[in-house]
Structure 1
Amino acid sequence: MATVQAVLGNLTPTDRRILTAVNTGASSLSFLGSGFIVLCYVLFKDLRKFSFKLVFYLALSDMLCSFFSIIGDPSKGFFCYTQGYSTHFFCVASFLWTTIIAFTLHRTVVRHKTDVEDLEPLFHLYVWGTSLVMTIIRSIGNDHGHLGGLGAWCWTQTGRTGKVVHFITFYAPLWGAILFNGVTYFQVIRMLNNATRMAVGMSDRSYQPDARADMKALNRWGYYPLILIGSWTFGTINRIHDFIEPDHKIFWLSVLDVGMAALMGLFNSIAYGLNSSVRRAIYERLDLLPERLQRWFPHSIKSRAQRHESELVSLKIQDQQ
C-alpha cells in the first residue's frame, strides 16, 4: 500500500525484508479478494445493477492498488514513477468509492431520491478527479527513487515537507471519508431501524422474527466504516510518530501499519462484495454442476445466503428508478 514507503526509515535490513514480505502477502490476499469480486461482476450478468456496479468500481480500485503494491524491483525511471503514482492514485480512489456507496444509500433510503444512477458521471469525476489531484500534489517534496537494497517500493518521503504533503494528500481525505461514512451509515441505520420497529408494532407476531433478522442485517452496515478505521489507524499513528521522531522507528507498529493497510482490499471485498446477491449468483451456477461435485459444497452456506436478503445490493436501488 501507499503507506509502505514511509515506514522503512532506519530499520535494519532484516526488519525491512520482513515488512516487504508482510506487504506482499497481505496485498496478494487483497488482490485475490478484490479480483474475485471483479470477476463475478464480469461473469454474472444479473449482478450488473447500479448498486453492485459501485462495488465493482471499489473492487477494481482495490485490485489495482494491491497490484502496484506488490510488483517488485522498480528501477529508477519510468517504471518507478508509474508504481509510485499508481499506488497512491488507486488507494485514494478505493476509500473515495466507499463514500460514494454511503452517499448512494443515504440519498436512496433517507432522502428517498431516485436519481442516483443519473449521478454516475459526477461520481466518476469526484473519485478519479480527486485521486488525480491528490496524486499530483503528493509529488511535492518527494524523491522518486527506489530504496537501496530493497527493490520493492518507490516514492519515499524526504524531509518534513514530503511527510506533511503525504498526510494532507492521503490521510486527511482518508479520515474525512471515515467521518462521512460513519455519519451517513448512522443516519441510514437509525431511519431503517425506526421504520422496522414501527412495522413490527403495527403487524402481528409472525412478522417479528423476520424483522429482527432484517435489523441485524442493517446493523452490519455500521461495520463498514470500521474497515477503513482498522486498516489505517496504525498507519496514521505511525505517520504522526515518524513526524515527531523521524530517527526512531517502532518495528511492531510498522508491521501493523503495513499489514493492516495492505488488507484493506480483502476487507472491502468481504464486506461489500460477498453479499446475498453474489452468493445467490454463485450457488445458482453450482446447481448446474454434476451432483457428485455438488457434494463438495456445504448446504449450510447456501441456506445462510438465502437468509441474508437485507444487504447492500438487496436495496434494489435500480428498481426504484
Structure 2
Amino acid sequence: MPISSQEIDTIHLTLLICNSISLLGSLSIILLFLSYKILRSYAFKLVFYMSLADTIRAIGFMLPSNPENFCLAQAFLTSFGSLSGLIWTSIIAICLYCVVIHETSNIQKYHILMIFIGYIIPLFIISLPATTNSYGQDKGWCWIVNDKYVYLWRIGGFYIFMLLVLIINIISYYKIISVIKSEINLLEQSPHELSSKQKLFNRFKWYPLVIVICYLPLLSKRLFEIITNDTIYWLTMLSAITTSTIGLLNAICYGLTDNVKETIIDSFKRHNKSRHGSINNIFVNMSI
C-alpha cells in the first residue's frame, strides 16, 4: 500500500524530532572533545570522528525533502553520514582489538589511513549513484530511488558495508570481551580492578548491538519492499525512529565513559566553587 501524503508528513516530523535529539548527542561529544584537553586521548579522538559523521547524518535527515535540491542534499548527507559513521565503528573496534589482543602500542601511526577509510572512501562510494541520477524521493525520505541500479547502489553501496561492519565488530568485540572475561576471573580478589573490568565488559557488549538495533528495522523494510514491491507505513516509521537515534546511542555508548562523566562533574564543581567564591567576595566588599 502506498504511503499517503499525510503519512509522509508524519514521517518527516518524526525524522526531524528524532534527529534533533540525536544531533544534540553527537554535538555534545564534539563539544566535550573541543572543550577539555584532558579528554583528547586517541580513543576519544576516534569517537569524535564518528560523532562528526553522525552529525552530518542527522543534519541531512533534518532537511526538507522538497524542493529537489534539498532532497539531493538530504540523500548525499545521510548516505555519507550513515556509511562513514558505520565504518568508524569498525575502525574503533579494530583499534581496540589491536590494543587489547595484540598489545599494539602505537596505533596512532595508522591515523592517516583511518581518515582515508573513514571519510574519503565513503565520500567516493556515495558519489557513485550520482553518476546514474539515482538519488531522489524514496518512500519516506530521500535516498537511492527504485530504478534499474537500485540493487547495485543500495546493496553494493550500503548494505554490504553494513553487514561487513557488523561481522568485523562482532568478531572483534567477541575476542576482546573473551579476554576481559578471563581477566575478570583472575581478579576476583581485587574488587577495584574487578569493577573496572566489569564496566568495560558491559560497555563493549553494547557496541555491536547499537548497529543491530538501529538498522535491523531498515533492513527489514528494504527486504519487504524488494520481495513485495510494496511498503508498510508502521515499518517505515519504525525505521525512521531507529535509524535516527544512532547518533544519540553512539554518544551514550562510546562517549559517556567514566572518565568523561568525572571530567564533567569536576568541571561543574569547579564552576560552582568559583561562583560561590565570587559571591562571597561581593558580600565581603559590601561589608567593607
Query: TM-score, normalising length from structure 2?
Result: 0.88
Alignment length (residue pairs): 275
From 250, 255, 258, give the equivalent of 2:240: 258
1:291 shift after superposition: 5.9
- Percent of matched pairs sharing the same residue: 23
1:241 and 1:26 map into 2 onto residues whose CA distance is 24
8 A contact 1:102–1:181 mirrored in 2: yes
- The equivalent of 1:89 in structure 2 is 80
SS in 1 for 2:68: coil
Q: Give the whole-Å Cα distance in 1 for the aligned partners of 2:179 and 2:134.
A: 49
1:107 lines up with 2:98 in the alignment? yes
Counterpart of 2:168 (choices 180, 183, 190) is 180
**Residue 255 of structure 1: CA displacement?**
0.9
Asked if the contact 2:217/2:235 (under 8 Å) is kept, the reply is: yes
CA distance in 1, matches of 2:274, 2:243: 41
The corresponding residue for 2:282 is: none
Partner letter of residue 109 of structure 1?
Answer: V
Change in CA separation of 1:73 and 1:218 when aligned onto 2, cut-off 3 Å = closer
2:16 touches 2:62 (CA, 8 Å); kept in 1?
A: yes
Q: Decide whether the 8 Å contact of 1:41 with 1:48 is kept in 2.
A: yes
Looking at structure 1, the residues matched to 137 and 3 of structure 2 have their Cα atoms a distance apart, in angstroms, of: 16
Superposition RMSD in Å: 2.3
> Structure 1, residues 244-269: CA drift from partner, whole Å, max 9, x if none?
112x2111111111110011001000
Match of 2:20 among 19, 28, 34: 28
Is 1:230 the counterpart of 2:230? The answer is no
The residue identity in structure 2 corresponding to 1:159 is D
The superposition leaves residues 93-122 of structure 1 with CA deviations (integer Å, 9 ceiling, x where unpaired) of: 001111111111110010011120111111
CA distance in 1, matches of 2:158, 2:125: 7
In structure 2, give the amino acid aligned to 1:190. S
Shift of 1:160: 4.7
1:65 match: 57
Paired residue type of 1:267: L
Cα deviation, 1:140-195, whole Å, max 9, x if unaligned, reads 55444457xx9x95444133522442122111101210111011011011112213
Q: Which structure: greater helix fraction?
A: 2
Which of 89, 108, 111 is the aligned partner of 1:120?
A: 111
Match among 241, 244, 259 for residue 224 of structure 2: 241
1:63-117 per-position Cα deviation (integer Å, ceiling 9, x unaligned): 111011102254234x543332222112110011111111111100100111201
Structure 2 unaligned segments of length 5 or more: list them. Answer: 277-288
* Counterparts in 2 of 1:12 and 1:198: CA distance versus 1, 3 Å: same
Give 2:264's aligned residue. 282
What are structure 1's unaligned runs of at least 5 residues? 1-8, 295-321
- For 1:40 and 1:175, the matched residues in 2 are separated by 31
TM-score in terms of structure 1 length: 0.79
